[in-house]
Amino acid sequence: MRAASVLIALVSVALCLPAACAQQATGASTDRPLATRQNFFTIPFTAPAGRTGAPLEVQLFVSSDHGRNWQLYGRQQPGAGKFQFRAGSDGEYWFASRTIDAQGIPQPTQAHQAELKVVVDTTSPQLDLEATIGP
């Protein structure tokens, strides 16, 4: 199975898919979702040290309802550098992350905000043609 990648800058963590990195480099908005035909992809991240030192954990949250509800999808040590995401179905997925410091304090502390939006569409296009004979 092939994996795609995505990159987005966060306040305390950076998630990155190549298409999003390119958008950031050109100053384009990352509010528009990225589209992929893959239901399995890698979300790389970097977790720089914050005010309270190096984070102990990076958490990835996902929303499939445009940010109304968020679920903890995975936890990684900062050195892991990536999350593997598998979409359960086609649709739009929003991602947010946070770090946990040595005192157990999450950063950022405010409500989740989408840092990365990905539309998964594994359905092949279909074209129906209808020919009419006559004038």
Domains identified in the chain and CATH numbers: 4-120 (2.60.40.10)
pLDDT band at 18 (very low <50, low <70, confident <90, very high): low
Q: Give yes or no for residue 3 having a pLDDT over 50.
A: no
pTM: 0.74
| pLDDT single digits (tens) 21-53 | 544 444 444 578 999 999 999 999 988 777 777
Q: Provide the β-strand partners of residue 120.
A: 36, 91
Q: Which two tokens stand for residue 15?
A: 């998630």
Question: Mean per-residue pLDDT for 12-25?
Answer: 49
Q: Provide the β-strand partners of residue 118.
A: 34, 93
> Rounded CA gap, 57 and 109, in Å?
14
pLDDT > 70 in the chain, percent = 78
- 103 Cβ neighbours under 8 A, 6+ residues apart: 52
